[in-house]
């Protein structure tokens, strides 16, 4: 998600194609040590970050144990080396924490290691060391965005320091303090989360969730818990992706109603999306049978990605040309209205509708299913009522993978209200250990 995570799939996947940007320039505040800041440097930091509310966090830092430096430049408290702590945690949990041996990777600060440990000690052990799909947790400085990620090819969680203002990245100690329940912090997270989605509101509270004490309605259900500290939530979420990969949840279980009722439509299945659009706009039975069948195939070709946007908005406009075949079967006003409805459906489905409070279901729901194009450029649909009743965040209903990772983060999170929002059968599934793994899961 962009501000909190973005999943990297295998290079041979059709959903891949994202390339890492060059490593960002060195952080201009990297040399500042919060425990020993002069007033001038505090003011400078506040000016750079652009948030006067940073004063509270800085005040807490002034009373903290003084920050020292170990030989490799990572932060440490009370003289305890962060490198040694990374090694100890790696041995304890059976996964590498920190850079790979022999590389120039960046080490975690004590502040982030505290968060990592607080999460790992609460998760089932079978999801960590014995999980062959989770190899490492490391700092990722190779990306130009703010997206931490689970890499499906390497089994690695890459933690990225978020950009807060003007390309400036949060230092590790500050990132460790970010909390999804604090309004201005959540707004910054959401702005980053929405940066990759053109044409979508950047006002916040759309991708990550709803904050503590707020009454914004998501899918008709108010007061979704904000799930606390951002780093801890990111880690739970990303570990969830590795669990999905291990137990083949998306392949075997995502289609069950209580798991969201997900269906994915690869290129050869887009006919089903075309049928849904024609049904929702009242165009299904207007043509002779043979012509109606070919119309479904033609519309599916128009909707097939990655060329769907051009087909809908370009010149010549293929979608408009397709709709003209219905013109002689309808009065002019009705033809215009139904054509407009088709365009509205297609355009909304392509415009990240999960960022809307109702997921765009007022337009995109057909027979109890909401259709959309996910962030991996795949047509998908889910059970509309499941979002209405059990959504944890808008982002949860962006794709099947994110549904699972959000549910995992909520189930193992500190706030029972988030866990209680899950469907009872979902809670039972997460609580059953060991989880069933299909026989061919290694294939």
Q: Considering Cα of 423, then 270, then 238, then 234, what sign does the dihedral take?
A: negative
- Taking alpha carbons only, the member of 171, 112, 191, 147 closest to residue 7 is 147
C-alpha distances out from residue 287 to 32, 291, 300, 365, 416, Å: 71, 6, 17, 23, 54
Rounded Cα gap, residues 40 and 46, in angstroms: 10
Rounded Cα gap, residues 360 and 372, in angstroms: 9
Task: Assess contact for 135 and 156: CB atoms under 8 A.
Answer: yes
What pLDDT was estimated at residue 80? 53
CB crowding 310-331: b at 16 or more within 10 Å, else e: ebbeeeeebbeebbeebeeebe
Rounded Cα gap, residues 357 and 343, in angstroms: 21
Per-residue pLDDT of the chain (443 residues; tens, 9 = 90+): 434 455 555 544 433 333 333 333 333 333 333 334 444 443 343 333 333 333 344 344 333 333 334 333 444 433 358 999 999 999 999 999 999 988 889 999 999 999 999 999 999 999 999 999 999 999 998 877 778 999 999 999 999 998 877 788 889 999 999 886 555 445 555 555 555 544 444 444 444 443 333 323 333 333 445 557 889 999 999 999 999 999 999 999 999 999 999 999 988 899 999 999 999 999 998 998 888 889 999 999 999 999 999 999 998 899 999 999 999 999 999 999 999 999 999 999 999 999 898 999 999 999 999 999 998 899 999 999 999 999 998 889 999 999 999 999 999 999 898 999 999 999 999 999 998 776 664 44
Task: Assess contact for 325 and 295: CB atoms under 8 A.
Answer: yes
- Taking alpha carbons only, the member of 79, 34, 80 closest to residue 60 is 34
Region for 167 from its dihedrals, namely left if φ exceeds 0, alpha if ψ lies in -120 to 50, beta otherwise: left
Burial of 272 (0-12, 13-18, 19+ CB in 10 A): middle
Task: Assess contact for 178 and 163: CB atoms under 8 A.
Answer: no
User: Roughly what angle, to the nearest 10 degrees, separates helices 39-49 and 54-62?
Assistant: 150
What pLDDT was estimated at residue 436? 75
Q: What are the domain boundaries of the chain? A: 1-178, 258-431
- Taking alpha carbons only, the member of 107, 44, 90, 34 closest to residue 66 is 34
Task: Assess contact for 319 and 346: CB atoms under 8 A.
Answer: yes
What pLDDT was estimated at residue 68? 39
Residue with tokens 């975690």: 108
- Taking alpha carbons only, the member of 335, 342, 403, 412 closest to residue 375 is 403
Task: Assess contact for 403 and 380: CB atoms under 8 A.
Answer: no
CB crowding 370-400: b at 16 or more within 10 Å, else e: bbbbbbbebbbbbbbbbbbebbbbbbbbbbb
Task: Assess contact for 200 and 352: CB atoms under 8 A.
Answer: yes
Beta strands 136-139 and 96-97, pairing class = parallel
Rounded Cα gap, residues 270 and 287, in angstroms: 20
- Taking alpha carbons only, the member of 352, 44, 315 closest to residue 364 is 352
Task: Assess contact for 258 and 425: CB atoms under 8 A.
Answer: yes
């Amino acid at each position: 998600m962009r501000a909190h995570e973005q999943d990297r799939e295998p290079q041979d996947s059709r959903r891949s194609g994202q390339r890492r940007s060059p490593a960002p320039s060195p952080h201009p505040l990297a040399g500042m040590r919060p425990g020993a800041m002069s007033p001038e440097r505090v003011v400078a930091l506040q000016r750079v970050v652009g948030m006067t509310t940073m004063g509270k966090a800085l005040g807490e830092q002034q009373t903290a144990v003084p920050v020292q430096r170990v030989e490799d430049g990572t932060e440490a408290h009370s003289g305890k080396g962060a490198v040694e702590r990374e090694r100890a945690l790696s041995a304890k949990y059976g996964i590498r924490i920190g850079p790979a041996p022999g590389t120039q990777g960046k080490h975690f600060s004590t502040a982030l290691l505290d968060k990592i440990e607080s999460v790992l000690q609460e998760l089932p052990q079978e999801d960590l060391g014995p999980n062959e799909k989770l190899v490492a947790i490391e700092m990722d400085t190779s990306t130009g965005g703010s997206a931490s990620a689970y890499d499906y090819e390497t089994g690695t969680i890459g933690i990225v320091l978020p950009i807060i203002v003007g390309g400036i990245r949060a230092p590790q100690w500050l990132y460790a303090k970010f909390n999804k329940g604090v309004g201005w912090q959540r707004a910054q997270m959401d702005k980053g989360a929405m940066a990759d989605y053109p044409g979508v509101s950047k006002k916040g509270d759309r991708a990550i969730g709803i904050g503590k004490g707020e009454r914004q309605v998501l899918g008709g259900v108010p007061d979704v818990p904000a799930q606390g500290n951002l780093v801890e939530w990111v880690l739970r979420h990303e570990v969830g992706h590795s669990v999905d990969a291990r137990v083949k949840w998306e392949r075997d279980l995502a289609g069950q109603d209580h798991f969201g009722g997900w269906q994915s439509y690869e290129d050869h299945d887009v006919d089903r999306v075309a049928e849904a659009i024609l049904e929702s706009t009242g165009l299904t039975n207007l043509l002779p049978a043979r012509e109606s069948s070919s119309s479904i195939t033609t519309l599916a070709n128009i909707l097939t990605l990655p060329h769907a946007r051009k087909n809908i908005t370009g010149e010549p406009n293929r979608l408009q040309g397709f709709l003209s075949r219905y013109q002689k079967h309808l009065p002019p006003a009705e033809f215009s209205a139904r054509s407009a409805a088709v365009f509205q459906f297609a355009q909304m489905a392509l415009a990240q509708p999960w960022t809307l409070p109702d997921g765009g279901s007022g337009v995109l729901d057909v027979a109890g299913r909401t259709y959309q194009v996910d962030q991996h450029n795949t047509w998908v649909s889910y059970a509309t009522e499941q979002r209405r009743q059990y959504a944890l965040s808008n982002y949860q209903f962006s794709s099947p993978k994110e549904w699972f990772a959000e549910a995992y983060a909520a189930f193992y999170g500190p706030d029972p209200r988030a866990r209680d929002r899950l469907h009872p059968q979902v809670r039972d599934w997460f609580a059953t250990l060991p989880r069933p793994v299909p026989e061919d899961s290694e294939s």
